Amino acid sequence: MASSRLQSTARQLSKTFKKKGRFEIGIANELPPAYKKFWREWKVLKPAAVHFVPQEGKWRRDELTGETLPIQNVHIPLKHPAEINDGIWGGEAVVKGFQKRDPYKRRVPHFWVPVLKRTVVKSEVLNTHLSVTVTDRTIRLINDHYGFDHYLLKTPACDLVSMLALKLKKHILTELVNGCPRYAHDPKKQAEIYEEYKTYLSSYTPEEIEWYGLTWYEALCKVAKQKEAANRPMPLKSVYRKNLVEKLKAAGIDGSPASAEDISNTTSWLSKMNLFGKKDEQA
Amino acid sequence: MYFFLQTTFVLKRRWPPPLHKKGGKTTKLRGRHFVYDLVEDKNVVRQPDMKVILNQYVEGVGNAGDVLTMRPNQVYRDYLMPGLAVYATPENMEKYQVEENKPKSEDTFSSPYVQRTMNCLSRLVLQITMSKKEPWTLEPWHVKTSFRKAGFVVPEHAIKMPPGKVSGPDLSLQDKEFFVTVTINKTETVNVRCRIHHWATGLERLPWVEHHWKKVTEPLFPEQAEVLQNLPLPE
């Protein structure tokens, strides 16, 4: 009897037990919602299908039997090498898989790697040219968005993928928030650029921009640093000194210039010592 | 849908994975689910031409506000990155007052390659090789021959000689210069800088001067001095 009750409570408990998420462990608890929003955009949101054509609609009919079947698009798994963060590949990545080249031969392992090239991109907001590793798709996307800045600002983090693109996006957003200080020499151009790109600022608050484009580790470091700066320990000696001064003031004792001189004399007792003299001369 | 198609390689599973429960976990993928077939490689497909608007006068291409329609790579490399053109957005169309159906302004040049030829000729320092021993007077056919030696076919009637008579041998001409005027297609004229070089064999031969075409020399005729000063000298 007792054992069955125990079992039922265990079942109940297992139902209510929830595994702790990434944002509920340790210092990550203190990450602001601004970073959670970026994380959602970066890691939770599903990137656009690049290497396969997803089927449209909800249902399809089997041609042979006339059966109605649901459409389930299972993404092709992508590999993200470390080099992806040094360039802007426009959502492309490496696909690892097999090729079946002959019906009577065993399948052959194959990697589909995007064709990379180094070229120049121009950022209007940053007022500079950059040399980056890109793919043809990136250039096409830049042209379709009418400019590099528009491409970065319009595309969500999950499609940008690379750290370089995210950092640049953060840089551009900060620049816009500050009102394009790089064009300070030309106020007319500055106003023009700001007018063109200010629409993108509406979807971010300044705090969100501050937390945008940070890796998990960088965000944690930032929280830790903020925390440390907020409750910095005060040396006890300064606390005691403050207390003492207050007490002296309350007792009506005031420091006069003569006494200050005395203090300075007393504090420099070490200088009176002659460490390099003879033994009997040493104090 | 538009963006899906713009990619390097589009793959397709040869054996798609089985269906899973609605809202449930996807079934564990087996080795055969990683066998892919290439549907299309977009990198080898010809891209459609792109439109851009020039934002300044570009020599041999057009004026500010002209629309260019070209290969995307060429446009990106030669016009967008150096900042000679902007994307043909509706805002830019309005800003540069582009009229789509504007008739193309008639070229004032007799041929599309005239500008290039004129640039080449104006950069040229034409060495006219004359005898150091035999007496001579400079005539159009001398200049024509020198042009041919420099790689330009110039008929005699297209050459307008300098105002004064040039005759030699006269070694003081060696470090003087003048210009002849060449008429291209009987319409455009261009001034070409000329220098006389005295030629002889054996011990009579003048010593070789390094980079003699870069040196600044005096004009032979004072009335040509101003034009010669404005002609670019090779660097």
CATH node for B50-95 = 3.40.5.10
Strand partners, B54: B85
In-domain check, residue A259: no
Lowest mean pLDDT among A129-143, A259-273, B118-132: A259-273
B chain contacts of residue A196, beta-carbon cutoff 8 Å = 91
Query: Smallest CA–CA separation between B60 and chain A, in Å?
Result: 24
Please give the pLDDT value at position B147.
95
What is the share, in percent, of chain A residues with pLDDT greater than 70? 90
In-domain check, residue A211: yes
In-domain check, residue A67: yes
Residue A223 confidence (pLDDT) above 70? yes
Please give the pLDDT value at position B80.
93
Best CA proximity match to A126, nearest among A57, A54, A59, A181: A181
Q: What is the pLDDT of residues A89-127, one digit of tens each?
A: 999 999 999 999 999 999 999 999 999 999 999 999 999
**Cβ contact B35–A97 (<8 Å):** yes
Residue A51 confidence (pLDDT) above 50? yes
In-domain check, residue A214: yes
> What does the alpha-carbon distance between residue A119 and residue A115 come to, in Å, rounded to a whole number?
13
Strands B67-70 and B50-54 turn out to be antiparallel
Half-sphere exposure of B14 (CA within 13 A, CB side): 16
Which residues in chain A (155-194) have CB-CB distances under 8 A to chain B? none
Best CA proximity match to A23, nearest among A12, A33, A11, A15: A33
Comma-separated ranges of CATH 3.40.5.10 domains in chain B = 50-95
What tokens does B37 get? 């077939």
Asked if B32 contacts B7 with a C-beta cutoff of 8 angstroms, the reply is no
Which residues in chain A (35-54) have CB-CB distances under 8 A to chain B? 48-54
Chain B: which residues have CB within 8 Å of chain A? 1, 3-14, 16-17, 19-20, 22, 26, 29, 31-32, 34-39, 42-43, 47, 50, 72-73, 76-77, 80-81, 83, 87, 89, 91
In-domain check, residue A280: no
**Cβ contact B31–A98 (<8 Å):** yes
Please give the pLDDT value at position B110.
76
Query: Smallest CA–CA separation between B187 and chain A, in Å?
Result: 41
**Cβ contact B4–A136 (<8 Å):** no
Of A48, A143, A144, the CB nearest to B4: A48
Number of domains present in the structure of chain A: 1
Of B11, B29, B80, the CB nearest to A95: B11
Which residue in chain B is spatially nearest to A55 when comparing CA positions? B1
B chain contacts of residue A119, beta-carbon cutoff 8 Å = 77
List per-residue pLDDT tens for chain B, 235 residues long: 344 444 578 999 999 999 999 888 888 999 999 999 998 777 778 889 999 998 888 877 777 888 888 999 999 999 999 999 999 988 888 888 777 666 555 556 777 788 888 888 998 999 999 999 999 999 999 999 999 999 999 999 999 999 888 888 888 888 889 999 999 988 889 999 999 999 999 888 999 989 988 888 889 999 888 888 888 887 7
Q: What is chain A's mean pLDDT, rounded? A: 88
Please give the pLDDT value at position A257.
52
Comma-separated ranges of CATH 3.10.430.100 domains in chain B = 114-230
Please give the pLDDT value at position A2.
64
Put simply, whether A224 touches B (Cβ < 8 Å) is no
Best CA proximity match to B105, nearest among B60, B63, B69: B63
**Cβ contact A53–B12 (<8 Å):** yes
Please give the pLDDT value at position B41.
77
Q: What is the pLDDT of residues A23-50, one digit of tens each?
A: 999 999 999 999 999 999 999 999 999 8
Best CA proximity match to B115, nearest among B218, B208, B190: B190
**Cβ contact B3–A141 (<8 Å):** yes
Range of the domain at A87: 24-48+62-228
In-domain check, residue A160: yes
Q: What is the pLDDT of residues B156-214, one digit of tens each?
A: 999 999 988 888 888 888 888 999 999 998 888 999 999 999 999 988 899 998 998 88
Query: Smallest CA–CA separation between A92 and chain B, in Å?
Result: 8
Residue A168: CB atoms within 10 Å: 23
Query: Smallest CA–CA separation between A232 and chain B, in Å?
Result: 48
**Cβ contact B31–A120 (<8 Å):** no
CATH node for B114-230 = 3.10.430.100
Asked if A190 contacts A184 with a C-beta cutoff of 8 angstroms, the reply is yes
**Which phi and psi (to 5°) does residue A143 adopt?**
-65, -35
Put simply, whether A240 touches B (Cβ < 8 Å) is no
What is the share, in percent, of chain A residues with pLDDT greater than 90? 73
Please give the pLDDT value at position B42.
72
Residue A132 confidence (pLDDT) above 80? yes
A chain contacts of residue B36, beta-carbon cutoff 8 Å = 76, 95, 97-99, 110, 112
A chain contacts of residue B6, beta-carbon cutoff 8 Å = 137, 140-141, 144
Residues 6+ apart with CB under 8 A from A52: A75, A76, B10, B11, B12, B39
Please give the pLDDT value at position B5.
45
Please give the pLDDT value at position A61.
94
Residues 6+ apart with CB under 8 A from B82: none
In-domain check, residue A275: no
What tokens does B162 get? 């300098």
Put simply, whether A108 touches B (Cβ < 8 Å) is no
Residue with tokens 């589009």: B10
Please give the pLDDT value at position A281.
53
